[in-house]
Every structure is written in C-alpha cells, then in structure tokens.
Chains A and B, each alone.
Chain A
Amino acid sequence: MTIQEYFELVFTDYTLRTITLGTAVLGAICGMLGSFAVLRKQSLLGDAISHAALPGIAIAFLLTGTKDSNLLLIGALGSGLVGTYWIRGMILKTHLKTDTALGLILSIFFGFGMLLLTFIQKQPNANQAGLDKYLFGQAATLVESDVRLMVIVTAISLFILLLFWKEFKILLFDAEFTQTLGFNTKFIDILITFFIVLAIVLGLQTVGVVLMSAMLLAPAAAARQWTNSLAMMILLAAIFGAFSGVVGTAISASQNNLSTGPVIVLVAAIFVLFSFIFSPGRGLLFREIRFRQNRRDLELKKTLQFMYSIAKNHENTSHPHAIRILNDFRGFTRGTLRKLEEKDWIEIHGQNWSLTTKGYETAENLYNQQKPHD
C-alpha cells in the first residue's frame, strides 16, 4: 500500500480509520499535557511513569484474569500513580536526587513487571498472550471503544484544563507566588500530575512503555520553539502531536514490517529537529544569522571608531586620509569600507577616505548609551 492509497482508504476502511483517529487523538492529548511536563522540568517523569505502569497491567490481569483493556488500564494507572508518589516521596524526604529517584522507580517497577509477565506466561490458563503489546505498543490492536475512551479522557482533561487554566498557569511559572496567593498548590500539582499519568497510561497500548516518554515530550519541545505563550504552545503541541500520529500511522501502514510506535516517534523527532533549526525566534539557524549580523555590525563600528580616533586629531574632521594607514587595523576590509560609505558615514575618493559630519557624530556617540542612535 502506498501513502496515496492510505489516504484514499482512511475514510472508508474501518481499521485504518480507527487507528488513525486513535493515534491522532493520542498525539493531541500527549502534546497538550506534555507541555506541562516539559515546562515543569518533569520531562523524564513520563519515562518513569510509563515503565512503572507495567506491573499494574500484570497485577490487574492476575487478579481479574481478563484482557479487557479498560481494566488493565486502571491497573496501569494505579501503579503509575504509586510510582509517581514514591518518586515525590524520595525527592522530598531523602537526599536522593530527582534523576536517581526516576531511574530507580523506572527500572525497579519495570523489572517487577517483567517478573510478573514471565510468571503469567508460565501459568496454565493460556489467555495471557497479548500482554506484551504494552511493551512496544501495537496501534493495530486499537478498537473503536479504545478510541472512544481516548476521546472522553481528552475531553475531560480539556475541560479541567480550561476550568483550572489560571491556577495551572500560575503554578507553572511561579509556585511560591501561587502559594502566597492562597491557592492550594498541592491540589493543583496533584491534578496536573494525575492527568499526565492518565495520558501516559492511555498511550501504552499504542506506542508502548519504552517510547511513551517521547510521545509526551517531542510535540511539546517542538511547540516551545515557536511561541512564548502557554496557550499557543499547548495548541501547537496538540497539533504537532496529532500530526505526528497521523503521518506516523500513514507511513507505517504503507510499509511492511513497520510498527507504528517507533515511526510516530521518529516523525515527532523530525518535528523537533525542524523546530530547533528553523524557528524564527529561538531556532539555531536564525540565531546564527543574528549572531553573524551583530558581529559584522560590531566590526563596522570598530572600524568607524578607529577612523574617528585618527580624524579627531585634525582640525578639519573631513580631512582625507590614505586607506593604507588602516592596514594595521584588523577590523577593516573592502566590504566594511563599502558598507560605511553606504551608511553615509565616510566618503571614498580614490585611495583616500574621509569622515562625513554624520559619521563623525555617530562615532563620537558610539559608546554613549544616553544618546539615541540610528
């Protein structure tokens, strides 16, 4: 199937439509809530939580014996929250640092989950096949009820987001100030974290434990480069996320042997790379251009300053001097001279240059910050 065929089929084929819709909604909710994770410096919390959810899935299966994905997700939510709570406890109450706490929870919970999964595999009731899909995710197993659940959760979190918009925003940027204003910071904090955990758990079935953190981070990190407004960032992140979901699904559906999760992550990574380089405000390309412009400007002014230091010793400041005498000064090039002439700061006559009145005044006030300069 080519990509073109995919787009023709996506509106008619049930499976494709479900999967595409699912990954799009997932991308959107992850981008939305991921923005908070990124801005709160909790980027890797997502990684830890997604791993920590694994034993919950196994325990839910062991207790109920069913593979109903909603039940398993509740288990995942439970153990994800336990993991989050433990991480917070460790950071607050012991001298272990955030990174150690995250790595510890991530690996220990995952190891315990693996123990349970292998234990389940050896059990006599052969109903267990399919639990591995939570490891790497299988978008192909999405059914309409899963997508419906995603849409409902997205709607709820959007509602909560709008309801507590002011609180979320203020907590994000100044936690202490929020507390002094009398907001219940603990409650807001728990609310945000809860929804981040919820988004992660929802994505496990589609992109899996390992790649879930990128799903959360990448759209938000890309969106961050284009705007300084929180609302705009969340909107952009949701769009980037949804777009990565759709494009990733399209690419993986059009090729054999390509699982959806990694492709979505790579598409999102390309978004990030593109944003890093080409975003006008913060991007590396424009930053480099601005940097070079500033440097050239500085060199220009250095040359002007040098000319000024020569000219000020003469009664007639426009007295012509030979270009030659600039030679031991490094800032000068043919290009700079031409630029200076364009700015009407100097005049060039053959092998001689002379400062104009305008150039003399500019040079005089070059380091004088009080005077407005052009």
Chain B
Amino acid sequence: MTEPQIEIQLIAAVVAIACAIPGVFLVLRKMALISDAISHSILPGIVIGFFITHDLNSPLLIILAAITGILTVVLVEAIQSTGLVKEDTAIGLVFPALFSVGVILIAKNANDVHLDVDAVLLGELAFAPFDRLLIDGIDFGPKSLWVMGVVLLISLILLFLFFKELKVSTFDAGLSSALGISPIIMHYGLMSVSSITIVGAFDAVGAILVVALMIAPAATAYLLTEDLKKMLGLSVLFGVVAAILGYWFAHLLDASISGSMTTVLGIIFLLTYLFAPRKGLISVLYRQRQQRTEVSLITFLLHLNNHQEKEERHINHLQEHINWQRVRSKTVVDLAERNNMITVENGVVSLTEKGLEFTELALEYIITNRDEKIEHMKDDFFLFRG
C-alpha cells in the first residue's frame, strides 16, 4: 500500500464513522430523508461560501453551508406547520428548489468559479490526499482528514455528553420534556451536527452518497439489534468495513470510490435484510407462515370441538367445507397429530385428551381479551415455535 492509499482509506473510514453516528438517530427518529434534503440544499450555501472564501475546505464555507442545512430544516417545518401539504411533500418541495438555486448560481458564475455541480454531488475521494494542510510549509496530512476528524471529534464529544438526553428525546419526546430535557433543543442540535457532518463529507464522498453513509449502516444495524449502544457500534463497524472494502473494490474496477463504498453498503444491507436472525425477510416470512398454520390449527381444533358428527369430522371435509387446499390441510393435520392433539381413524378425526384441554385453553384465550389474563397461556400456546 502506498501512502495516498492508506490516507484515502483513513479519510473514508473517518467519514463513514462521522456519518454513522448522527445517522443512527435520524433513522430512529424517522427523519432519514432530512439528510437527503440537507445534502442537496447545502449547495447554494457552498456556492456562496465559495464565492467568499475560494476554498472548499475553509471553515467559513462549512459553517455557511451548515447554516443553509439548518435553514432547510426550519423551512420544511414551517411549510409542514401550515398544514397546506402533507409532511413529506414539504421536504420534496424545499430541497429541489434550493438545489436549483445553487445550480443556477454556479452556472451564472461559471467563469469565476472552479466548482461544478458534479463535484459537489458526487465528490471524488481519490483526489482528497492531494489537498494538503500546510502550515508554515510543514505538511500536516490531507486537509479533508483534518476537517472530518474535527467533525467526528465534535460529534463524539456531543454524543458522550448528551447520550442520555438524546436517547430519551429520541424514544419518548413527552417523557423528555417532562424530565426537563427540551426535545426541541435536542432536535436542532442533532440537525446542526448532521448538517455539519454532511457539509464536511460532501467534498470527499459527494452529497448523495453522504445519505447512503448516514442511513445504510444505521438501517442495517437496526435490523440486527434494538439496543441503542449496540446499534451505534454496529453502524460504525459497517461504515468502516464498507469504507475499506469499498476502496479495494473501486481499486479493482478502477471506478468511483464513493460509488463502490455505497455499493458495498448496499450489499451488506441486502444480506442483512434477507438473513437477519429475527427481523430479516426470510425469518419474517417463515414466522408469518408458521403463524398462519397455528391459526389454522386452532380453527381446526375448535371446529372438531364443536362437532360430534362423523361426517363433519371426516378428513375430506377439511377441503370441502373449510375450503383449505390439500397442502395446508395436510400441514395442519400433521402438526396436530405430531403434538398428540388428534387421532385419525378411518379418515375420521377426533380430539385427544390433550387436544381437548388445549382447545379449552384456546377458547379462553380468544374470549379473554385482557392481556394479563392470557399472559401465562402464551407459553404453552405457541408450543410449536421451538
């Protein structure tokens, strides 16, 4: 590995960590799309900042752009509060308009500005190591590493200082105001940190891919855990893994680094989405099928309990009368037989002792709607779930 390569991976990892932390809270607060809005609408802020400073990494530019980001949030909320359009429409109206202003500003001043929309939207990590921080001629390393390092440090400090407050206000705004923690201050604090992170990162990974770095690790972690600390840890881990794998993937294909980082994030998410132990698609589908069978079984047992006549209890009757398909009736009957709930003689199904007891329990379960009364029943109820 050459030195620029190490530096690129370092920058990518720092950006990923810095984005993952506010991202977790945005996802939990159902505000993931605000990051998308901010990342687009900072464009006019960046352009105006660039007119003033002529330096993409200047702190003034970052502050100006971050203010535009917060302005976006304020504007979106102002439009939402008029009630004229639904909430999501407000977001969808504000950011394209601001983005357009930015594009037009760039286009009208194309001659004096060495800034193009592609660079802002897409970024290029490969060039980041060549913009060095020089103080008195001494090389302190890449500028963007310093910028993102400072951003990361600030958000880490804020995270440790206000972890409890953030947690409470994220999960229960009512409780948080009752405890004297203003949800509004937490909200705007989080928005400011997100805004600054997005502005700091756009240069390296581009405005749209910042969104991926914020949302994807958090969403992936959310499928795996419900513990906030673990979720933060996992998000950071996914971010860093994507940064490093993404770099080498891009190296292999000779393509955009930020694009391949996002692709790696996408693959990680896809795998988690499919295979996550409890929240993944496959396990959800499996559980839904099981529950369907369980409900069918209970219906079947109740039916048996209600009918003494032989013809009503005949196995063919299941398909004719209850209108189940062959496969489903077979699954249900097999399940009941395996659990010694029923016996089948000459095609006539009858309840066993255990089945009768279970049916009574089931009836009680259905009739009683109060949760605390059926709490103890739940255990022996879904006995097939393993």
In the complex, A49 Cα to B166 Cα: how many Å? 32
- CB-CB under 8 A for A262 and B103, given A107-B262, A282-B84: yes
Within 8 A of B (CB), among A310-369: none
B124 to chain A, nearest CB (A): 9
CB of B263 within 8 A of CB of A97, answer: no
Pick from A73-81, A108-116, A144-152 the stretch touching chain B: A108-116
As a 0/1 sequence over residues 107 to 138 of chain A, the CB contacts with chain B under 8 angstroms (1 = contact) are 11111111111110010000000001001100
A111 (CB) vs chain B CBs: closest residue: B262
Look across to chain A and name the residue whose beta carbon is closest to the beta carbon of B280. Answer: A94
Interface residues of A in 36-87 (CB under 8 A from B): 38, 41-44, 46-47, 51
Q: Which residues of B contact A46 (CB under 8 A)?
A: 92
Q: Residue of A at shortest CB range from B254?
A: A122
Report if B348 contacts A (CB, 8 A).
no
**In this assembly, does B332 line the interface, its C-beta being within 8 Å of a C-beta of chain A?**
no
The verdict on A112 contacting B262 (CB below 8 Å), with A43-B92, A103-B36, A107-B215 known, is yes
Partner of B255, one of A99, A122, A214, A225: A122
Q: Is the CB of A111 within 8 A of B99?
A: no
Chain A contacts of B216 at CB under 8 A? 104, 107-108
Q: Please count the residue pairs between chain A and chain B whose beta carbons lie under 8 angstroms apart in the complex.
A: 199
Contacts of A107 in B (CB 8 A): 36, 208-209, 211-212, 215-216, 262
Interface positions of B from 241 to 271, Cβ below 8 Å from A = 250, 253-256, 258-263, 265-266, 269
The answer to whether the Cβ of A210 comes within 8 Å of any Cβ in the partner chain is: yes
**Looking at A46, A213, A262, which has the most chain B CB atoms within 10 Å of its CB?**
A262
- B119 close to A (CB within 8 Å): no
A259 contacts B263, C-beta separation under 8 Å: no
Is A97 within 8 A of B30, CB to CB?
A: yes
Which A residue's beta carbon lies closest to that of B96?
A214
Interface size class of A (residues with CB under 8 A): 35 or more
Q: Is B315 an interface residue (CB 8 A)?
A: no
Residues of B within 8 A of A258 (CB): 104, 107-108
Within the complex, what minimum Cβ distance (angstroms) separates B98 from chain A?
9
B interface residues, tally (CB under 8 Å):
64
| Cα distance A214–B122 in the bound complex, in angstroms | 20
Q: Which residues of A contact B103 (CB under 8 A)?
A: 136, 259, 261-262
Chain A residues, Cβ within 8 Å of B66: none
Which residue of B has the minimal Cβ distance to A275? B84
Complex: A213 Cα to B27 Cα, angstroms: 22
A132 CA / B119 CA spacing, docked (Å): 13
- Residue A184 at the chain B interface, CB threshold 8 Å: no
Residues of chain B within 8 A (CB-CB) of A103 are 32-33, 35-36, 211, 214-215
A218 close to chain B: CB less than 8 A: yes
Q: Is A304 an interface residue (CB 8 A)?
A: no
Instruction: Tell me whether A43 and B88 are in contact (CB under 8 A).
Output: yes
Q: Is B298 an interface residue (CB 8 A)?
A: no
Shortest Cβ distance from residue A79 to the other chain B in the assembled complex, whole angstroms: 13
Task: Give 27 CB contacts A-B under 8 Å.
Answer: A38-B89, A44-B33, A90-B273, A93-B284, A93-B285, A94-B279, A94-B281, A95-B222, A95-B279, A96-B219, A97-B30, A99-B88, A103-B35, A103-B215, A104-B212, A107-B211, A109-B266, A110-B212, A114-B259, A114-B262, A210-B40, A210-B96, A211-B100, A224-B84, A258-B104, A269-B93, A269-B100
Interface residues of B (CB under 8 A from A): 27, 30-33, 35-36, 40, 79, 82, 84-86, 88-89, 91-93, 96-97, 99-101, 103-104, 107-108, 110, 117-118, 121-122, 206, 208-209, 211-212, 214-216, 218-219, 222-223, 250, 253-256, 258-263, 265-266, 269, 273, 279-281, 284-285
Q: Which 3 pairs, one residue from A and one from B, show the smallest C-beta to C-beta distance?
A: A111-B262, A214-B96, A115-B259
